[in-house]
């Protein structure tokens, strides 16, 4: 306890603060405040400050220990992640296939649990599908309309599915624009210029596009060709927008859960990117994505979705982490990818495969020194084969032995096989991650129990 002389050296503000700490009245003159402190047992102002300083020091120590523990856990997760990346079918085939099957069974269990939690919703959906199936199978005059609607929806679903596969990132995205949509637009473009008409069948096309037999010409330009392939392009773009949703939902769920120990590489990349002081051009571009999305909102997302760029996943993670509303994110992504970006890509492909450009390209290939004629021959053969097919007849029914067609077919097959293998690897690594998380939780539980004892 301080003496009266010591308290006389205190200011009124210090005396009032000491009284507040002791939960005593703070009104009155300085002499009254001193008397009130002398009559009340307790610690002096300096002693209380010393205690508070000690508590602050303890908090800093605790914070330092927490940071150190977090870094250790992060390092452990990185080691586990590096080990999981080795679980691939060409390095550990038996382990990979075993984990793949276990992950499939685990996903089935989760879906079963989800159905049991939402029985009424799933029952309603099942009844709706059952009624639609009965209506579909029942014979009657409505079957002609159903047939047209069925073809239309299957055609749209086909392109939406390809768009989803292109961006969803199941192991690695299948580049369906280069493999399917781009060649389809090129095929329609070549057909339009060769036939001088766009009067061949609307989607879904038959296996082979044929020029109109009546030989009637029509208006063929970049706008009419774009209108011919607009449905496929828009549906593919919508599919790519849907494929961007998983990173958004993952980041949003992690933020809402409040769990700091989230083993997710994308979220860690975002956190490291925000905190890094590196100033390389690529890092600055990556840092600009979350900054622009967070500040500009809808129009920032729209801008990044409207141009082909490999950094859009980072925008989706940022939107989820910043709790951007779903329709703000998905609406901007849908407009950007299915309308603006797709018209840019359509225009590029149509220009590249216009008749004048193709003729000029074939002539230019012949001028390449030494190997020009060897390069020109397969391209010219491919164009001639396509022309024969468009006009049908006996020549169009002959087998196609073009080397470029053979190479492209095998390339597509290899890409699809690699895509399937990457899905197997990804699901196997997902199960290995479950195993690692289970081990970590068990160790944490054991540690907490030991501390409690």
Neighbours of 122 (CB within 10 A): 13
CA-based nearest residue to 269, from 222, 231, 216, 321: 321
Contact 243, 160 (CB under 8 A): no
Asked which of 306, 325, 350 is the last residue of a domain, the reply is: 350
Within-domain flag for 395? no
- CA 292/CA 439 separation, integer angstroms: 39
Within-domain flag for 33? yes
Q: In terms of C-beta density within 10 A (0-12 exposed, 13-18 middle, 19 or more buried), how is residue 205 classed?
A: middle
Residues 55 and 117 reside in one and the same domain: no
Residues 47 and 118 reside in one and the same domain: no
Asked which of 69, 103, 118 is the last residue of a domain, the reply is: 69
Give me the domain span that covers residue 118: 85-138+402-453
Asked which of 17, 36, 69 is the last residue of a domain, the reply is: 69
Residues 346 and 260 reside in one and the same domain: yes
Per-block average pLDDT, block size 10, for the chain (453 residues)?
68 78 74 74 54 62 65 75 84 88 88 83 87 80 77 88 79 72 85 80 66 73 87 91 85 70 60 63 69 79 80 77 86 91 87 74 70 68 64 48 69 82 86 82 72 62
- Count of domains forming the chain: 3
Residues 251 and 340 reside in one and the same domain: yes
CA-based nearest residue to 154, from 168, 138, 127, 136: 136
Residues 103 and 65 reside in one and the same domain: no
Q: In terms of C-beta density within 10 A (0-12 exposed, 13-18 middle, 19 or more buried), how is residue 180 classed?
A: buried
Give me the pLDDT at residue 404, please: 64
Give me the pLDDT at residue 322, please: 79
Give me the pLDDT at residue 259, please: 56
> Which structure tokens are listed for 81?
């992640």
Residues 37 and 113 reside in one and the same domain: no
Within-domain flag for 146? no
Within-domain flag for 91? yes
Owner of token pair 């012949």: 366
Give me the pLDDT at residue 234, please: 92
Within-domain flag for 389? no
Within-domain flag for 39? yes
Does 50 sit behind a cis peptide bond, omega within 30 degrees of 0 on the bond before it?
no
CA-based nearest residue to 432, from 83, 75, 78, 73: 83
Within-domain flag for 448? yes
CA-based nearest residue to 153, from 227, 36, 71, 235: 235
**DSSP states along 26-91:** --S-HHHHHHHHHTS-S--HHHHHHHHHHHHHHHHHHHHHHHHHHHHHHHHHHHHHHHHTT--TTT
Contact 150, 156 (CB under 8 A): no
Residues 317 and 342 reside in one and the same domain: yes
Within-domain flag for 370? no
Single pTM value for the model:
0.67
């Amino acid at each position: 306890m301080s003496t009266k002389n010591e308290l006389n050296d205190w200011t009124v503000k210090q005396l009032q603060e000491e009284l507040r700490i002791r939960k005593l009245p703070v009104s009155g003159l300085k002499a009254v405040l001193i008397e009130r402190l002398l009559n009340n047992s307790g610690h002096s102002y300096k002693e209380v400050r010393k205690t508070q300083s000690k508590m602050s020091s303890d908090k800093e120590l605790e914070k330092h220990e927490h940071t150190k523990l977090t870094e250790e856990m992060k390092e452990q997760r990185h080691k586990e992640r590096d080990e999981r990346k080795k679980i691939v079918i060409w390095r550990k085939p038996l382990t990979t296939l075993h984990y793949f099957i276990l992950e499939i069974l685990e996903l089935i269990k989760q879906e079963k649990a989800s159905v049991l939690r939402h029985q009424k919703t799933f029952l309603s959906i099942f009844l709706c599908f059952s009624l639609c199936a009965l209506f579909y199978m029942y014979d009657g005059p409505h079957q002609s309309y159903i047939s047209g609607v069925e073809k239309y929806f299957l055609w749209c679903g086909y392109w939406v599915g390809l768009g989803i596969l292109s961006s969803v990132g199941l192991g690695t995205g299948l580049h369906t624009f280069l493999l399917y949509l781009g060649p389809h637009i090129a095929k329609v473009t070549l057909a339009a210029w060769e036939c001088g008409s766009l009067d061949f069948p609307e989607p879904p096309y038959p296996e082979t596009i044929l020029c109109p037999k009546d030989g009637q010409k029509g208006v063929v330009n970049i706008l009419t060709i774009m209108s011919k392939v607009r449905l496929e392009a828009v549906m593919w773009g919508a599919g790519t927008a849907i494929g961007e949703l998983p990173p958004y939902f993952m980041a949003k769920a992690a933020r809402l859960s409040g769990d700091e120990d989230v083993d997710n590489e994308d979220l860690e990349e975002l956190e490291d990117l925000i905190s890094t002081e590196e100033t390389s051009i690529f890092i600055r571009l990556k840092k600009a994505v979350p900054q622009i999305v967070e500040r500009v909102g809808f129009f920032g997302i729209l801008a990044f979705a409207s141009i082909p760029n490999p950094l859009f996943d980072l925008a989706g993670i940022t939107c989820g982490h910043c709790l951007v509303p779903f329709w703000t994110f998905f609406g901007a992504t849908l407009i950007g990818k299915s309308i603006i970006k797709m018209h840019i890509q359509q225009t590029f492909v149509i220009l590249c495969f216009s008749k004048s450009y193709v003729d000029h390209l074939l002539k230019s290939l012949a001028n390449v020194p030494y190997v020009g004629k060897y390069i020109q021959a397969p391209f010219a053969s491919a164009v001639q084969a396509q022309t024969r097919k468009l006009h049908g007849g006996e020549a169009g029914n002959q087998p196609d032995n073009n080397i470029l067609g053979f190479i492209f077919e095998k390339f597509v097959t290899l890409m699809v096989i690699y895509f399937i293998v990457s899905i197997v690897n990804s699901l196997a690594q997902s199960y290995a991650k479950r195993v690692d998380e289970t081990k970590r939780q068990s160790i944490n539980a054991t540690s907490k129990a030991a501390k409690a004892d």
